[in-house]
Amino acid sequence: MSLRSPLGRVRGLGSAKTGTDHFWAQRVTAVALVPLTLWFVYALLSLAGADYATVSAWLRSPVNAVLMLALIVATFHHMQLGLQVVIEDYIHGEGIKIACLMIMKGGSLLLAVAAAFAVLKVAFGG
């Protein structure tokens, strides 16, 4: 016996309306963030109390710049996936929910672009 509704069987999708992409993307970014986060904490500790020139020089190092970019991509992707679930759980009106999701996803993308731009500007000697 199947517990799926006839309509659900026809469409082949559950009430989430998508497959497992969201779940997997959240896990993959989570795994990536374990080493990246630990590296970032280590980096911030090594820069504790450092002045502008020291921090700029640190970010001009290609390895640090690349790891910062990877951290930014993984962080903001993971963040918008997580916040999406929070919004879907607590906001039930369809219109307001879609509005909140748009603002949150647009905001996340904007923050990610700003962070990545800042890293590149410093890294390229701006």
Partner 1 sequence: MSNGDRPLSPHLQIYEFSWTMAFSIIHRATGVGLAGGTLLMVWWLMALADGPASFDLVQSVVGSWFGLLCLLGWTWALFYHLCNGIRHLFWDTGRGFELNTARDSGYVVCAASVVLTGLTWLTGMAMGALL
For residue 79, state whether it binds partner 1 (rule: CB under 8 A). Answer: yes
Q: Which of 13, 31, 57, 99 binds partner 1 (CB under 8 A)?
A: 31
Q: How many residues lie near partner 1 (CB under 8 A)?
A: 36
**Smaller CB distance to partner 1: residue 16 or 117?**
117
Binding mask 87-116 for partner 1 (x = CB under 8 A): ------------------------x--xx-
Long-range contacts of 114-119 (CB under 8 A, 24+ apart): 115/72, 115/76, 116/69, 116/72, 116/73, 119/59, 119/65, 119/68, 119/69, 119/72
Note the Cα 54 to chain centre separation in Å. Answer: 28
Note the Cα 116 to chain centre separation in Å. Answer: 13
Residues of this chain that interact with partner 1 (CB under 8 A) are 5-6, 27, 30-31, 33-34, 37-38, 41, 44-46, 48-50, 52, 55-56, 59, 68, 75-76, 79, 82-83, 86, 111, 114-115, 117-119, 121-122, 126
